[in-house]
């Protein structure tokens, strides 16, 4: 599905990632962990095409996409929910969701009912402006918008960050339901070890520009991971 090999990427003179290899297989939920500033968001942006690699390859569905612009990657089936609830605050909830539909392969006109089943709160707020929603509701809207495009791979960058526990639980349920269906893959940046050990199939920890630990979540050693996450 997603195959990143030997990725080097950075800003200006400095490289943030120096040879990272990572895979997400079809239907897998993969959790990416690492301290603040190690380059988790940088990796996500390289996958969606907002940053260009200096070395290495990014392949999606067996095709090298490293030179493709972001809109082409989105249409190919990569959905992206950036860190920090990126919605259009001046647009209504419905308008935000419709923007998601534009990227859908089947050019759907109606927001699928499935999305409202996942996020019931959004259905009650269709005419409200995005900016009037609570932080947690905005995050649900951002995820719903990405799902409206029916991606094959969903990139979620710290979706639970700064969000009230009740909404965290709802977002977890959504990821669990995606996992049950096994029709979409997820690459999730998430600091919570509990999540990495329960919902994820596979995990990676990056530090100092490289993958320092990876494995099946079932075999994850909490002590070992913590050593890389704590300063
Ligand atoms: N636009 C940018 N310009 C320059 N440096 C950046 C930029 N964005 C991030 N960085 C730097 O790159 C490093 C990795 O950042 P980031 O990928 O956001 O880390 P993480 O998501 O793991 O917290 C940090 O040292 C950060 O300061
Ligand atoms: Mg980040």
Look at 32-36, 135-139, 172-176, 193-197 and tell me which has the smallest mean pLDDT.
193-197
**Over the stretch 145-155, which tens digit does the pLDDT of each residue have?**
999 999 999 99
- Report all structural domains of the chain as residue ranges with CATH numbers, in order of start: 2-83+153-229 (3.40.50.300)
Neighbours of ion ligand 2 (CB under 5 A): 40-41, 83
Protein residues with CB under 6 Å of any ligand 1 atom? 11, 16, 34, 36-42
Helix (H) or strand (E) holding 81: strand 78-81
Query: Above 90 in pLDDT, residue 127?
Result: yes
Of ligand 1's listed atoms, the one at least distance from the Cα of 39 is: 17
- What is the average pLDDT score of the chain? 93
Q: What angle do CA 79, 80, 83 make, to 5 degrees?
A: 165
Q: How far, in Å, is the centroid of ligand 2 from the Cα of 64?
A: 24
| pLDDT tier at 231, thresholds 50, 70, 90 | low
Q: What is the structure's pLDDT at 216? A: 95
Instruction: List the beta bridge partners of residue 77.
Output: none
Whole-prediction pTM: 0.94
Q: Distance (Å, rounded) from C-alpha 213 to C-alpha 135?
A: 32
């Amino acid at each position: 599905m997603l195959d990143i090999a030997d990725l080097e990427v950075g800003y200006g003179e400095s490289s943030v990632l120096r040879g990272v290899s990572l895979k997400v297989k079809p239907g897998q939920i993969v959790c990416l962990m690492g301290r603040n500033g190690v380059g988790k968001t940088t990796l996500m942006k390289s996958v969606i095409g907002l940053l260009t690699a200096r070395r290495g390859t990014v392949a999606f569905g067996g095709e090298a996409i490293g030179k493709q612009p972001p809109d082409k990657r989105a249409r190919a089936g990569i959905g992206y929910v950036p860190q920090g609830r990126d919605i259009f605050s001046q647009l209504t909830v419905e308008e935000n969701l419709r923007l998601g539909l534009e990227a859908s392969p089947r050019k759907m006109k109606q927001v699928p009912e499935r999305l409202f089943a996942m996020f019931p709160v959004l259905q009650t707020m269709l005419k409200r402006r995005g900016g009037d929603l609570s932080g947690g509701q905005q995050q649900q809207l951002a995820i719903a918008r990405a799902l409206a495009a029916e991606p094959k791979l969903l990139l979620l960058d710290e979706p639970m960050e700064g969000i009230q526990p009740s909404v965290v639980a709802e977002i977890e349920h959504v990821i669990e339901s995606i996992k049950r269906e096994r029709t979409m893959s997820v690459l999730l940046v998430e600091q919570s070890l509990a999540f990495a050990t329960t919902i994820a199939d596979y995990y990676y920890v990056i530090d100092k520009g490289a993958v320092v630990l990876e494995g099946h979540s079932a075999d994850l050693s909490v002590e070992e991971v913590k050593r890389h996450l704590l300063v």
